Every structure is written in C-alpha cells, then in structure tokens.
C-alpha cells in the first residue's frame, strides 16, 4: 500500500546515519556494519516510497551495501558525504553540491491535467530529438511560467524521464548566491557536463532571480551568469550537433524577467492552476494504490478549484487525508505510540501500518486545514502576462 512514510523513513535514516558515523569514528566495526545495513534497507524503502528519487536512493543503498561489505578493509570517506550530492557523475560540475544530476523516473503519466502543455513540450522534445535537415533549427529552450506548485519542475522531470535523458535540476539563485565569484564558470561547466552526458535536460529554476537592477556583488554575479547562459543558449543554435541538450526554465514571476532573457525563450508556456478535471486526475495520482471508491471526486474537484489549489496543495491535501485514514485504521498503533517509541528500528520493521479506504470526511478535514497561498490578484497577474507575452 502506498502510504507516505517517507518522512518517517528520512528520520530513521538520519538516526542510523548518525550511529554509523559514530561507530566509524570509534572504529566499532560491528556497529559500522549494522548501521550500514540499516541505512541500505531504509534507502531501498525510500526508493519505493519516493518514486522521483528512486534511482538516487537505489544508488545510495548500493553504496551502503558496499560500506557494509568493505567495513574495516580500507579507509574511506563516509557514504553520507558522497551520497548527499545525489550525483552520479564525476565531472567538474558535480563538485557543486547544489545541483542534482539525476536520471529522472518521472513520466508523463505522473502529471495530472495540463494536456496541452504536455503535448507542446512533447512536441519540442520529439522534434529536437529527431534526426533532421540541418536548416531546421529546433527550439533549444522553453520557459514555463505560472503560480508555484503547478507542476513546472514535474514537467521538466517528465521530459527527462521519457527521453531517458540526464536531468540537471539547477536553482539559479543558489548558484548566484553561493558561488558569487565563480558563478558564470558554473554555467559553462554545467553545459559542458550536459554535452558530455547528452541527451540532457537542463532545468533552470527561479530564472527570475537573475536580476540586473541592484548594484551589488549579487547583481554583478547575476550579470555574469546571464551572459554565460545566453552564450550557451545562443551557441547551441549554431553548432552542428546531433546531441540533444534542451533547456527548460521556470519562474513564478515572469514579469520580473529581463528582456534579454525573455528573447532567448521564444516558447513561453503558461502553467495554470488545475481545473476541476485536472484536480481529480491529480488526486488519483497522489492516492495511487489506495482505495478511493468512497470519494465523490467531482465534489472534491469542485471544492479544490474554489480553494485555488495548486498541484502541490492537492498533494498536501491528499497527504493530510491519508494521515487521518492511517490514524483511523491503525488505532492500535497510534493509541500506543509511547510504547512503540521504545521499540528498536528492527522491531518496528516487523510491524506494518495498514491502509483502508479514504473517506469524504478525511478530505473535508484536509481541505479546511490546507490553505492556498495564492490571491486572485496573483492569478490574474499570470493571466495578464500570458496574454501579453505568452507564446507557444
Ligand atoms: N499537474 C500535476 N500532477 C500531479 N502532481 C502535481 C501536479 N502539479 C504539482 N504536483 C505535485 O506538486 C509537487 C510540486 O510541483 P512542482 O512541479 O515542484 O511545482 P512548481 O515547480 O511549478 O513549483 C509535485 O512534486 C507533485 O507532487
Ligand atoms: Mg519547482
């Protein structure tokens, strides 16, 4: 059953990692092996529970197996230090810990609604991927804009997942703020790496944080990052290359974008809040594996639209409803949580959290608890910008 246990698992992992490190420091081999085994086990469970991070967790589990098997045979960096970057590649770019180089396991089916947007992105991806006459220049970049939590990152991950492309998930703000001096070099090495690992999808999030207006260190770095990003975006257009490197960028505030940035993204796609039907699809995706036969999805969909829920809000609603359900179904555990807390991890592993049907009450309660941060003004601002500058 597909209950969200990832939070619990992450805290178990943290605890076991701490104990592993402590054992390693004391050269206590027995416990080094024990906690490496536990970490591997938890990583494998996380791989199941967090599908979009599946590969990263499986890789980490393998490293923990290795740590268990090689304990005491060679001095080594801890797995935690190596694993935290979530990167598989050994090139220069992976040394900048913020950006995750991943293979994405997200597929188009994981996205509810957005049918038109999906087919637009699919079209771009397919055309870019096909062998074609030299004179036909495919789009190299797409800008996704819309309120937060509407699935922009998810769309980029699905594009990468379907192409089996290397997925670079880059937050531009952290590049700028953390590597002020070196930021522009980072963009160059990002694209170098993307070429090396092509086909690649480079997802540049928070594009709006490239601001030119302020006159300080950050905006100096911003300018350099922009210049080097534009060089990369322009450069690919001219190079005769059959390597696919597609740049998808996203912003929640497109009106803050510089003209120079905008002009490099002639394809600008509005990602709106889900409509009633899309809300129902997202709820189905987010409750996959659970019994939803008692739910009036029409009704929940309608209420979700009235609440201005984004996909992320709906995810939170579903998680909240699932929590109510698990509490209800597993009274024996919840009523006994203090005793349960005394159990060791191994003993806990032997017990199972049961799942039952989700009910309308679970959802009604969740809807009263989860509030959309958006105002009608935020929404109309996106619509206005779309009318003026949106283009597909
Ligand atoms: N259309 C959608 N279909 C399914 N899940 C969605 C959708 N939109 C958002 N979500 C859920 O909300 C989370 C956040 O979405 P995300 O793509 O990060 O939003 P954004 O990048 O637009 O801020 C996703 O991981 C997913 O679980
Ligand atoms: Mg995002």
Chain segment 204-257, per-residue pLDDT in tens:
999 988 866 656 666 777 888 888 888 888 765 445 566 788 999 999 999 998
Q: In terms of domains, do 264 and 281 share one?
A: no
Look at residue 181 and tell me if it is in a domain.
yes
Q: In terms of domains, do 290 and 252 share one?
A: no
* 8-state DSSP, 95: G
Pairing of strands 141-145, 200-205: unpaired
pLDDT tier at 91, thresholds 50, 70, 90: very low
Q: Tell me if 61 sits within 8 A of 44, measured CB to CB.
A: yes
The residue from 272, 296, 322 where one domain ends is 272
Q: What is the mean pLDDT of residues 121-134?
A: 83
- pTM, rounded to two decimals: 0.73
Q: What is the mean pLDDT of residues 99-118?
A: 84
Average confidence score pLDDT of the chain: 83
Residue to substitute in 311, 314, 316, 319 for testing ligand 1 pocket (most ligand atoms within 8 angstroms of CB)? 311
Alpha helices in the chain (DSSP H): 6-25, 29-49, 54-70, 79-83, 115-129, 152-163, 172-178, 183-196, 217-238, 259-264, 276-286, 297-306, 311-329, 331-334, 337-340, 345-349, 360-369, 376-389
pLDDT at 275 (0 to 100): 96
* pLDDT, tens digit, 9 for 90 and up, residues 138-184: 777 899 999 999 999 999 999 999 888 888 888 888 777 776 777 77
113 lines ligand 1 (CB under 6 A): yes
Look at residue 160 and tell me if it is in a domain.
yes
Q: From ligand 1's centre to the CA of 112, what distance in Å?
A: 9
The three-class DSSP label of residue 244 is coil
Tokens representing 162 are 């379907």
226 lines ligand 1 (CB under 6 A): no
Q: Nearest residue CA, atom 18 of ligand 1?
A: 153
- What's the CATH code of the domain at 291? 1.10.8.60
Name the residue with higher pLDDT: 84 or 373.
373
- What's the CATH code of the domain at 236? 3.40.50.300
**d(C-alpha 121, C-alpha 129), whole Å:** 12
Q: In terms of domains, do 285 and 266 share one?
A: no
Q: In terms of domains, do 285 and 262 share one?
A: no
Q: What is the mean pLDDT of residues 55-60?
A: 85
Q: In terms of domains, do 44 and 165 share one?
A: no
Q: In terms of domains, do 104 and 76 share one?
A: no
Name the residue with higher pLDDT: 102 or 239.
102
When mean pLDDT is compared across 126-135, 159-168, 290-299, the lowest value belongs to: 126-135
Q: What is the mean pLDDT of residues 354-359?
A: 95
The three-class DSSP label of residue 194 is helix
The residue from 18, 52, 84 where one domain ends is 84
Q: From ligand 2's centre to the CA of 46, what distance in Å?
A: 21
Q: Which residues surround ligand 2, an ion (CB under 5 A)?
A: 153
Whether 308 has a pLDDT exceeding 70, the answer reads yes
Can you give the residue range of the structural domain that contains 59?
Answer: 6-84
Name the residue with higher pLDDT: 89 or 281.
281
Ligand 1 atom nearest the C-alpha of 285 is: 4
Look at residue 92 and tell me if it is in a domain.
no
Q: Tell me if 140 sits within 8 A of 237, measured CB to CB.
A: yes
Whether 2 has a pLDDT exceeding 60, the answer reads no
Whether 314 has a pLDDT exceeding 50, the answer reads yes
Q: In terms of domains, do 187 and 283 share one?
A: no
Q: In terms of domains, do 52 and 174 share one?
A: no
pLDDT tier at 84, thresholds 50, 70, 90: very low
Look at residue 378 and tell me if it is in a domain.
no
Number of domains the chain is built from: 3
Look at residue 381 and tell me if it is in a domain.
no
pLDDT tier at 29, thresholds 50, 70, 90: confident
The residue from 50, 84, 118 where one domain ends is 84
Q: In terms of domains, do 265 and 185 share one?
A: yes
Q: In terms of domains, do 39 and 78 share one?
A: yes
Q: Nearest residue CA, atom 26 of ligand 1?
A: 312
Q: Tell me if 308 sits within 8 A of 273, measured CB to CB.
A: yes
* 8-state DSSP, 254: G
pLDDT at 94 (0 to 100): 45
Look at residue 385 and tell me if it is in a domain.
no
When mean pLDDT is compared across 78-82, 288-292, 368-372, 376-380, the lowest value belongs to: 78-82
Look at residue 93 and tell me if it is in a domain.
no
DSSP string, 292-321: -TT--HHHHHHHHHHTT--HHHHHHHHHHH
When mean pLDDT is compared across 87-96, 104-113, 136-145, 343-352, the lowest value belongs to: 87-96
Ligand 1 atom nearest the C-alpha of 250 is: 21
Q: In terms of domains, do 52 and 181 share one?
A: no
Q: What is the mean pLDDT of residues 362-391?
A: 93
Look at residue 186 and tell me if it is in a domain.
yes
pLDDT at 315 (0 to 100): 97
Q: Tell me if 98 sits within 8 A of 204, measured CB to CB.
A: no
Q: In terms of domains, do 247 and 160 share one?
A: yes
């Amino acid at each position: 059953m597909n209950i969200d246990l990832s939070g619990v698992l992450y805290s178990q992992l943290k605890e076991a990692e701490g104990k592993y490190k402590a054992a390693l420091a004391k050269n206590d081999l027995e416990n080094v092996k024990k906690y490496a085994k536990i970490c591997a086990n938890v990583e494998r469970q996380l791989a199941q529970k967090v599908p979009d991070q599946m590969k990263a967790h499986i890789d980490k589990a393998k490293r923990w197996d290795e740590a268990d098997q090689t304990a005491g045979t060679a001095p080594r960096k801890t797995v935690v230090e190596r694993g935290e970057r979530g990167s598989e590649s050994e090139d220069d770019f992976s040394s900048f810990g913020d950006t995750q180089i991943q293979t994405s396991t997200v597929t188009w089916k994981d996205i509810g609604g957005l049918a038109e947007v999906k087919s637009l992105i699919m079209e771009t991806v397919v055309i870019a991927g096909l062998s074609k006459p030299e004179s036909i220049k495919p789009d190299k970049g797409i800008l996704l804009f819309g309120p937060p939590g509407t699935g922009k990152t998810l769309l980029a991950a699905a594009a990468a997942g379907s192409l089996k492309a290397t997925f670079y998930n880059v937050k531009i703000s952290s590049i700028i703020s953390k590597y002020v001096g070196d930021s522009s070099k980072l963009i160059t090495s990002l694209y170098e790496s993307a070429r090396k690992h092509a086909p690649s999808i480079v997802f540049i999030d928070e594009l709006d944080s490239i601001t030119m207006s302020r006159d300080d260190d950050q905006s100096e770095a911003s300018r350099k990052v922009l210049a080097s990003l534009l060089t990369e975006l322009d450069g690919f257009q001219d190079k005769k290359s059959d390597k696919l490197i597609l740049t998808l960028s996203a912003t929640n505030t497109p009106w803050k974008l510089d003209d120079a940035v905008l002009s490099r993204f002639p394809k600008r796609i509005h990602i709106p809040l889900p409509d009633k039907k899309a809300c129902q699809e997202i709820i189905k995706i987010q409750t996959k594996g659970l019994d939803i036969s008692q739910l009036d999805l029409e009704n929940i969909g309608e209420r979700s639209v009235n609440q201005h829920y984004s996909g992320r809000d709906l995810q939170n609603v579903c998680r909240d409803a699932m929590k109510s359900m698990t509490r209800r179904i597993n009274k024996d555990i919840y009523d006994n949580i203090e005793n349960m807390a005394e159990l060791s991890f191994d003993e806990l592993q032997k017990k199972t959290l049961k799942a039952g049907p989700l009910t309308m009450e679970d959802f009604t309660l969740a809807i009263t608890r989860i509030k959309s941060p958006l105002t009608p003004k935020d929404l109309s601002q996106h619509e206005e910008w779309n009318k003026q500058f949106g283009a597909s």
